[in-house]
Amino acid sequence: MLTFTRRVMLGVTAATLALSTLPAMAQDYPSKPVTIVVSYAAGGGTDAIARVFAARLEKAIGGRVIVENRPGAAANMGTDVVAKADPDGYTLLIGNQGPMVVNPHIFKLRNDPAETLDPIAMIADAQLVVVAGPSLQVNSMQELLEKAKQDQLVYGSAGNASASHVATLLLGQMAGIKLKHVPYKGAGPAINDLLGGHVDFMVTTVPSVIGLVQDGTLKALAVTGKERFEALPDVPTVAESGLPEYSASAWYGLLGPKGLPEDVRAKLAAGTEETLRDPAFIESLQKDGGVPSHLVGQDFADFMAAERARWGEVVKAADIKVE
């Protein structure tokens, strides 16, 4: 098995070779600013990662990279914007599992990501955390599951098909409990209602609640990854808390319109790999509960296909009806 250091060194070599052997067209790219579309409002987790990534990608590809927020239509609007753009590498998308692999099971889409977008590279995989509100008298994940078997609990999410939504669906299905869902337009409003006692608990991104957890306002019951999160070392995983097969996360990747020139795609993939080796970028991800990913091209496409199948089963079992 390759060690982490060995994998990184192989990635360094591949990225260097890719950049040095690109044809003239890609070496001239970019000759104007590159726009990265984010399907959510400014200030959220996807937006934060996109902006940190864009700032470092600029150095890697030698051109300006700007972030444009295009929220709306359950994050489908951003997909539509990029799917309709010229496939020249100047309009790209930071996608996550909501619009990329969950929405196709819930909405009738004008642009199916699997058919209209080219996966370039996966950027990061980030843990989520299960947090209980002040009004819910539980101190562990086991206590929450026991309480949910006695009374139907209400959970908030960042919206239908969001990572927080489907991660909680999976939790309920694996635990054999029924939960009531209240979707919000983003994690912020959901957290506000959690603090106000309008919902009992939620699964959300680590950075959105870590301050509230550390000051004792919210109680972190479990993290959703396969391993504990360094910034919350005393918080167990869901798997440790009685559901050994449970694992969920939020992931982010770079995509472009279908038909990207192969040399431009290669330069973007190499630039992404260089960005993922940047110590400052790695540190930023780790603070948010994430780790860099190194899936490129077809490997990223295969990962998304597997995720689409996995979450499709969860959505089907939940019989989601979007109002």
Q: Are residues 60 and 82 located together in one domain of the fold?
A: yes
Phi first, then psi: give them for residue 94, nearest 5 degrees: -95, 110
pLDDT digits (tens, 9 = 90+) for 49-82: 899 999 999 999 999 999 999 988 888 999 999 9
Q: Are residues 237 and 146 located together in one domain of the fold?
A: yes
- Of the candidates 270, 219, 301, 235, the one whose C-alpha atom is nearest the C-alpha of residue 19 is 270
Is 294's pLDDT higher than 50? yes
Q: Are residues 102 and 147 located together in one domain of the fold?
A: no
pLDDT digits (tens, 9 = 90+) for 6-45: 444 455 455 555 555 545 555 789 999 999 999 988 877 7
Quote the tokens at residue 209: 């609640």
Q: What CATH number does residue 49 fall under? A: 3.40.190.150
Q: Are residues 287 and 154 located together in one domain of the fold?
A: no
231 touches 168 (CB < 8 A)? no
Is 269's pLDDT higher than 70? yes
Q: Which residue has the tokens 């597997």?
A: 306
Q: What CATH number does residue 161 fall under? A: 3.40.190.10
Q: Which residue segment(s) compose the domain that 229 sits in?
A: 127-241
Q: Are residues 114 and 176 located together in one domain of the fold?
A: no
pLDDT digits (tens, 9 = 90+) for 169-179: 999 999 999 99
Asked if residue 99 belongs to a domain, the reply is yes
Of 215, 241, 267, the residue that ends a domain is 241
* Percent of the chain surpassing pLDDT 90: 72
Number of domains forming the structure of the chain: 2
Q: Are residues 177 and 198 located together in one domain of the fold?
A: yes
Sheet holding 290-292, edge to edge: 65-69, 34-38, 91-96, 250-257, 117-126, 290-292
Q: Are residues 120 and 38 located together in one domain of the fold?
A: yes
Of 189, 220, 241, the residue that ends a domain is 241
Asked if residue 262 belongs to a domain, the reply is yes
If you compute the radius of gyration of the chain from its CA atoms, what whole number of angstroms results? 20
pLDDT confidence tier of residue 210, bands split at 50, 70 and 90: confident
79 touches 39 (CB < 8 A)? yes
Rounded Cα–Cα distance for residues 112 and 158 (Å): 22
Q: Are residues 121 and 200 located together in one domain of the fold?
A: no
Q: Are residues 117 and 154 located together in one domain of the fold?
A: no
Asked if residue 25 belongs to a domain, the reply is no
Half-sphere exposure in the Cβ direction for 85 (13 Å, CA):
23
Q: Are residues 235 and 272 located together in one domain of the fold?
A: no
Of 188, 213, 241, the residue that ends a domain is 241
Q: What is the pLDDT of residue 25?
A: 55
Asked if residue 17 belongs to a domain, the reply is no
Q: Where are the alpha helices (DSSP H) in 75-161?
A: 76-83, 97, 103-106, 113-116, 141-150
User: What does the pLDDT average to over 113-131?
Assistant: 95
- Of the candidates 304, 251, 254, 253, the one whose C-alpha atom is nearest the C-alpha of residue 89 is 254
Q: Are residues 105 and 254 located together in one domain of the fold?
A: yes
pLDDT digits (tens, 9 = 90+) for 222-261: 999 999 988 899 999 999 999 999 999 999 999 999 999 9
Q: Are residues 147 and 200 located together in one domain of the fold?
A: yes
Interstrand relation of 201-205 and 153-157 (parallel, antiparallel or unpaired): parallel
Asked if residue 13 belongs to a domain, the reply is no
Asked if residue 6 belongs to a domain, the reply is no
What is the overall mean pLDDT for the chain?
A: 89
Q: Which residue has the tokens 């630039």?
A: 271
Asked if residue 311 belongs to a domain, the reply is yes
- Of the candidates 284, 296, 262, the one whose C-alpha atom is nearest the C-alpha of residue 55 is 284
Asked if residue 223 belongs to a domain, the reply is yes
SS3 at position 157: strand
